[in-house]
Amino acid sequence: MSVVLPDPTRMEGRTVVVTGASSGIGRAAARELALLGADVAVVGRNRERTEAVAAETGGRAFLSDFDRLASVRELAAALLDAYPAIHVLANNAGGMAERGLTTDGNGITFQRNHLAGFLLTNLLLDRLRETAASAPAGAVRVIQTASEANRSGRVRLDDLDSMRGLWLAGWPAYGAVKLENILFTRELARRTAGSGVRTWAFHPGFVATGFGGTNPLIALGKRLALSPEQGAQPLVRLAAATEVPAPSGNYFSRLTAPGRTARQANDTGLARALWEASAVRAGLG
> Among the residues of the chain, which ranges form H helices?
24-35, 47-57, 69-82, 108-110, 116-134, 171-191, 216-221, 228-231, 233-240, 268-281
Q: Is the CB of residue 31 less than 8 Å from the CB of residue 57?
A: yes
Give φ, ψ of 18 to 5 degrees: -120, 115
174 is catalytic: yes
DSSP 8-class letter at 259: P
Per the document, the length of the chain is: 285
State the CB neighbour count (10 A cutoff) for residue 118: 26
Give, for 16, the enclosing helix (H) or strand (E).
strand 15-18
Q: Active site residue: 174, 200, 202, 211, which one?
A: 174
- Assign residue 203 a region (left: φ > 0; alpha: ψ between -120 and 50; beta: otherwise): beta
Spatial CB neighbours of 170, under 8 Å, sequence gap ≥ 6: 96, 97, 98, 99, 109
Instruction: Report d(CA 160, CA 181) in Å as an integer.
Output: 13
Active site residue ranges:
174
